[in-house]
Structure 1
């Protein structure tokens, strides 16, 4: 759980150090803008940016009932952030499993990716798809509405 917050904390820390240096150098406006940019980057790379994760077993149970895809992801993954950002509100219709919080989810991803924890891995109707195009994912969501 803690490693999911390492990158966001590092971004806030670096932004703070750079901002302090700029304030001491006489550029408080630039410091405020850079601190805001670092804070936004930290937010996007944090678990808070993603829908609330469920366990792999719960996601499989829910998917069997409603037919919605399952997304296996982890914090700090640029491809996961890209997928989440491009899906917008549609992301809430998927079942999200954080592989850093759920060992069963990590095992599922390794089984689908020849032992690698490559994310995002989307499971649609029992078939895994690694780093799918967000437009394709939106198409997979539409039938389940």
Structure 2
């Protein structure tokens, strides 16, 4: 396994991680804070490539190693995968409580990371390495967003 691009930690009390470009969810800024707990809204935004929500199975603190190339972590086995659209060149990885809502956007005061990502489309993979340790890999792709989730993604 190579060295991660960066790492972060976050706390969640919704047992959910999110990966997204804040600009891709700007249309949700005026929604209520729990808009994404409505399954049809959550799945719609995932399938449009605006966000990847990842059910973690438990609240708590999570460590995340972030890699900028697929396969760079050297992990094999079960992972979640989705294509996302990056509009601003910024990607948030952390607690789902930080998705835009209630006229607020993501902040890293309580953990998570805002990192650079090439504008366009990216493929994102999320692995669980240990109960509270996650790995996120992402890489630019020429593939269009073709997510076809029918239920909430979980690890």
Range of TM-score over shorter length: under 0.3
Q: TM-score, normalised by structure 1?
A: 0.26
| Structure (1 or 2) with the larger CA radius of gyration | 1
Q: Is the helix fraction higher in 1 or 2?
A: 1
Q: Which has the bigger relative contact order, CA under 8 A and spacing at least 6?
A: 2
